[in-house]
Amino acid sequence: MSQNTSTRRKFLGMTGMMGAGAVLSGCTSVIAANPMKTNLDATIFNFALNLEYLEAAFYLAAVGRLGELDTAGGDSSKVILPANFMAAAKNGTGIAGMSPAVRAYAEETANDERNHVAVIKAVLGSAAVVQPRIDLGPAFQAAGKAASGGAITGFDPFANELFFLHGAFIFEDVGVSAYKGAARLLVDDKPDGNLENAAGILAVEAYHAGMIRTLLYARKDEQVTPSLKVSDVVQAISNFRDSVDGTDDRDQGIVGGAGNPSYVAGANIVLADKNSIAFSRTPRQVANIVFFGENTAKGGFFPDGISGNAVTGDYSKILAL
């Protein structure tokens, strides 16, 4: 074991981050475990780091702990929020009126996403990209309007508990499919290597997604607008993601049956194909969703695009895969 690897592991162990996704060992190494594959591991994890910045900012703001983004290596000053929520996002208040159960879920998820940012940055070291500007204000309004065909305007995931759950739904399924899709691209498949630890992060994101889908299903018949129930809004968000991530259908709402390829009627908590295998997305498909458009370089939650650097910032290689 190299001294650098040993030091990284000791550091991560001391900071309590040796769990799932902790040791993305060898991210910047040019030595490939599989010589037939180009080593793009560092590029892939920097792409993932941009998405982790986004999720961490969302959940930390929701529970009033946005300042912790800075301690994890992000930059809270680059996060755009609704003007009337700025103070609550930082002073411990967070979203008003959340039930204890949902608040506890949000706190736990905020911890997970903050830790993902910190550990990926720690292992990538100087190769880690800085946080880009993140839009959690107008971008959500645009997403809500587009997904509902104009029926929902001014959507604000920080306005109440139910809207928070809808906002979280936009992210979580995408994270699961992103990490699964990246698995085939990773070279370092040694024990505690990049592939194993990416699988660990995927598992955590899948727990989050399952919880969000379960909470929303429990409220599926609740009216969001006079014409839209919770299940309708969720399906609209799912359709919106599908409309920009390609020509096939790899997204589902929370209710099975006609028009939803869940293959069973009733609950559709597990987002999977007919063989009960989770869907994959390529980096390009993920970018399409977070940018709100096909083959664009910026927009949506990343108004200036995602961050890169001279070492691993050329995402064209993985966006073409």
Q: What is the pLDDT of residues 149-166, one digit of tens each?
A: 777 888 999 999 999 999
Q: How far apart are CA 91 and CA 282, in angstroms?
A: 37
Alpha-carbon gap, residue 193 to 203, rounded angstroms: 16
Bridge partners (DSSP) listed for residue 10: none
Distance of CA 27 to the CA centre of its chain: 20
Question: Shortest CA distance to 152 belongs to which of 162, 161, 140, 160?
Answer: 140
Distant-in-sequence, close-in-space partners of 58: CB < 8 Å, separation ≥ 6: 113, 136, 157, 167, 168, 171
Residues 166, 168, 171, 174, CA torsion sign: negative
Block residue for tokens 């073409």: 320
Q: Please name the residues in contact with 160: beta carbons below 8 A apart, sequence gap of 6 or more.
A: 95, 96, 97
Name 135's bridge partners: 80
Quick check: 315 and 283 in contact, CB under 8 A?
yes
Q: Are 283 and 321 in contact (CB under 8 A)?
A: yes
DSSP assigned state of 311: T
Q: Give the pLDDT score at 250.
A: 85
Domain boundaries, the chain: 3-304
Any idea of the CA torsion for 9, 13, 18, 22, to the nearest 10 degrees? -50
Q: Report the candidate in 275, 278, 238, 277 with the shortest Cα–Cα distance to residue 259.
A: 238
Q: Output the six-digit token pair for 236.
A: 């609209």
- Give tens-digit pLDDT for 260-302: 555 566 899 998 888 889 999 999 999 999 999 988 889 999 9
Q: How far apart are CA 320 and CA 305, in angstroms?
A: 17
Q: How far is the C-alpha of 242 from the C-alpha of 134, rounded, in Å?
A: 22
Please check whether residue 81 is in contact with residue 91, taking contact to mean a CB–CB distance below 8 angstroms.
no
Residues of the chain with pLDDT under 70: 1-37, 257-265, 309-314, 321
- Measured N-to-C along each axis, helices 283-291 and 41-62 cross at an angle, to the nearest 10 degrees, of 30
pLDDT score of 261: 54
Cα 206 to Cα 204: distance, rounded to the nearest angstrom? 5
Please give the model's pTM, rounded to 2 decimal places.
0.86
Percent of the chain past pLDDT 90, that is, above it, reads 60
**Within its chain, how far is the Cα of 312 from the centroid?**
20
- Side chain identity at residue 130, one-letter code: V
Secondary structure class of 183 (helix, strand, coil): helix
319: tokens are 């966006």
The predicted structure's pLDDT at residue 1: 43
What is the per-residue pLDDT for 35? 53
Task: Give counts: helices (H), strands (E), the chain.
Answer: 10, 6
What Å distances lie between residue 169 and 14, 105, 242, CA to CA? Answer: 33, 13, 14
